[in-house]
Amino acid sequence: MKKFFITTPIYYINDIPHIGHTCTTVAADVVARLHRLKGEEVFFLTGTDEHGQKVAETAEKEGLEVKEYCDKISPRFQEAWKALNISFDFFIRTTDPRHEKIVGEILQKIYDNGDVYKAKYEGLYCIGCEKFLTETDLIDGHCGLHPPEKTVEKSEDNWFFKLSKYVPQIIKLIEDEKTNYIFPEGKKLEILSKLKGGIRDVSISRENVAWGIPTPWDEKQTVYVWFDALINYYSATQFVEGKKDFWPADLHLLGKEILWFHTVIWQAMLLSANIALPKKTYTHSFYMVDGQKMSKSLGNVISPQQLRENFGTDGTRYLITRSFPTDNDSDVGIDRFKEKYNADLANNLGNLVSRVSKLAEGQIVENTELQLEAEFEKLIDEVKFDQAIQFVFDKWVDSSNLKLNQETPWKLEKEDPKRKTVLDECINNIKLAAFHLQIVMPETAQNILNCFKNTVKPLETGLFPRIK
Ligand code: MSP
């Protein structure tokens, strides 16, 4: 059986889940469900990134031991994903001793390969990104993604990884169409130009951060949180039972701010440790909330729970997928979502299903096997969710509404064969729409398919109540 391994970034637990985390997680779920539908054996991995300075500082503020804090927050992510019907197969935590052991082993391999040396790090560090900053990261002297106080001066002895040694090999891999792993195309060009601009080696350990995995050859230092975190993708395949053959990953999904880590640093680490490289990374843009960056101080952070309370599980999944930010940032907000929900789900799809199931009540339905359309599959593979959903609406939903309005079957006698023909066509279309939309809205799709199984049964309650 064909195998498919998909991952999301593992999220920092200095905060509870928000719509940004939800965005990548729902996207990964949609892709995972498509591959299962195609009969593949899927391993879908997500989890939490628990070491490092940022998490340690948050725990301290909360007055908790760090591990205690992690044990409190990590389940919030699992619960949020379960409530959204995310079909992850394993939830990894970087504080899992099985992961920690593999991190030590890989670091040791990199060291044994002669790719590690000790040097002084002097420069700026962003605690928000957990990243050593370069000139290009700076806006007004601090990291552009986080408040100024998160940028701090560092001067410490660190272990460095010879990233520069692997740059020519990585450029070659990316430039070769057959081995290129960076999608979409724009991101590939961005990385190539950065790589060709000259690259410095990177620090892989921290001297003064106790909350981390000890560096195998130097107990006084801990592994830099990004080196620890990236290894999760590989470590899970090694310690979760029966998953060894899933490496290398088929698809890493991630947001644009962590592109460099996933397309350069991760590859160099794997090359050094002599481990196969992931086949594809897909980097998406960001959600902006009502035109602004989401931030606690602006008070505009949207949580998955808030989305579910407004739109239900499938409504949320639909809205997230439909507004998925690909090449450009996508503007979202509760009011905007309400409009979209009412237009697409309540007035269009929901209304169609309720009309047809009422009109055709008791009608016998042929249970033909439903097939995936190649075009739809291709659009999902290319992470063009908006277009994939549009394809379903154009082909089956809108066309049925049009047909109903043109043919007005409710005006025809029950016995009129034309009435049955029109309704049969709509039923067939609705079933195909539900079949394809099941990867986005699994429960709703099942409800719809049940409604049109054997004989038509009207819906007991509307699928998507209108929101005022
Ligand atoms: N812990 C690291 C990732 C390590 S992976 C080996 C990390 N965590 S994070 O909690 O900050 O999550 C970052 C990810 O959350 C982004 O890459 C993206 O997937 C998602 N998003 C966070 N904010 C987002 C938006 N505003 N919009 C869309 N997705 C965003 O970085």
Instruction: Please give the pLDDT value at position 296.
Output: 79
- Taking the centre of ligand 1 as the mean of its atom positions, its distance from the CA of residue 127, in whole angstroms, is 15
User: Both tokens of residue 288?
Assistant: 């902006």
Per residue, the 3-state secondary structure of 102-131, as one string, reads HHHHHHHHHHHCCCEEEEEEEEEEECCCCE
Rounded distance from Cα 347 to ligand 1 centre (Å): 33
- Listing DSSP states for 391-443 in one string gives HHIIIIIIHHHHHHHHH-GGGS-TT-HHHHHHHHHHHHHHHHHHHHHTTT-HH
3-state SS, residue 34:
helix
* C-alpha of residue 12 to centroid of ligand 1, in Å: 8
Q: What stretches of 191-339 adopt beta strand conformation (E)?
A: 202-203, 205-206, 214-215, 218-223, 251-255, 281-284, 287-289, 330-332
Q: Which residues pair with 44 in a beta bridge?
A: 6
Task: Report which of 227, 270, 275, 233 is spatially closest to residue 254, judged by C-alpha positions.
Answer: 233
Q: What is the pLDDT of residue 135?
A: 81
| Ligand 1 atom at minimal distance to the Cα of residue 229 | 6
Low-confidence stretches of the chain (pLDDT beneath 70):
none
> Residue 248 CA to chain centroid, in angstroms?
18
Here the tokens at position 231 are 């290894």
Contact 216, 111 (CB under 8 A): yes
C-beta separation of 146 from 128 below 8 A:
yes
126 catalytic? Reply is yes
- pLDDT attached to residue 338: 98
Is 23 considered catalytic here?
Answer: no
Number of C-alpha atoms within 13 angstroms, CB side, residue 227? 30
Question: What is the number of the ligand 1 atom nearest to the C-alpha of 232?
Answer: 6
Catalytic residue among 3, 101, 109, 146: 146
Write the DSSP assignment of 320-383 as a string of letters: HHHT--SSS-EEE-HHHHHHHIIIIIIIIIIHHHHHHHHHTTT-B---PPP---HHHHHHHHTT
Per the annotation, the verdict on 143 as an active-site residue is yes
For residue 97, cis peptide bond before it (omega within 30 degrees of 0): no
Catalytic residue among 35, 70, 99, 126, which?
Answer: 126
Peptide bond into 248 cis (omega under 30): yes
Q: What's the pLDDT tens digit per position in 384-436?
A: 999 999 999 999 999 999 999 999 999 999 899 999 999 999 999 999 999 99
Q: Is 252 a catalytic residue?
A: no
* CA-proximal residue: ligand 1, atom 12 (nearest): 11
- The catalytic position among 293, 358, 418, 453 is 293
- Catalytic annotation present for 146: yes
pLDDT tens figures, 79-102: 999 999 999 999 999 999 999 999
The dihedral region occupied by 104, where left means phi > 0, alpha psi between -120 and 50, and beta the remainder, is: alpha
Residue that has been written with the tokens 């940028």 in this structure? 151
Burial 43-56 (b: 16+ CB within 10 A, else e): bbbbbbbbbbbbbb
Residues lining ligand 1, Cβ inside 6 A: 9-12, 20-21, 23-24, 49, 229-230, 232, 254-255, 257-258, 286-287, 294
Which residues neighbour 408 within 8 Å (Cβ) at sequence distance 6 or greater? none
What sections of 243-291 are H helices per DSSP?
Answer: 259-260, 266-273
Q: Which of 66, 67, 76 is nearest to 15 (CA)?
A: 76
pLDDT of residue 281: 98
Ligand 1 center from residue 236 Cα (angstroms): 19
Phi and psi (nearest 5°) for 223?
Answer: -65, 130
**Residue 326 tokens, joined:** 């690909």
Listed in sequence order, the residues at least 6 apart from 149 whose beta carbon sits closer than 8 Å to its beta carbon are none
Q: Residue 292 has what DSSP assignment?
A: B
- The pLDDT value recorded for residue 460 is 83
